[in-house]
Amino acid sequence: MVPANDDKRGQISGRLPLHLYRWLEGMVCDSEHPDRNYPNLNQALIGELTKAKTLSEISMDIEDLKRRVEALEKAMEEIRS
């Protein structure tokens, strides 16, 4: 079971699998680890979801660009022939 809510855990603690909760908790800064990215779990969750969405969109853009380059290379080869 995930620990009860406190100021850093917010309302997501009971809704995440424990391994994801611990992973997010490792990204929250505290007095021992002030260099970590997020001030609380809610912001860690939002930040990581935003990163994942951005990476997914970039990946799709890269795949689209690869298809376009392949089509252009094929057209150039046909013109050269």
Residue 5 lies in a domain: no
What residues pair up with 38 in beta bridges, in sequence order?
28
Residue 68 lies in a domain: yes
Residue 48 lies in a domain: yes
Residue 59 lies in a domain: yes
Taking the model in full, what pTM does it have?
Answer: 0.61
**Interval 50-81: pLDDT, tens:** 999 999 999 999 999 999 999 999 999 999 98
**Interval 29-41: pLDDT, tens:** 877 777 788 888 8
Tally the domains of the chain.
1
Domain extent for 52: 18-80
What residues pair up with 28 in beta bridges, in sequence order?
38
Residue 10 lies in a domain: no
Residue 39 CB coordination number (10 Å) = 13
CA angle centred on 57, ends 44 and 14, rounded to 5°: 30
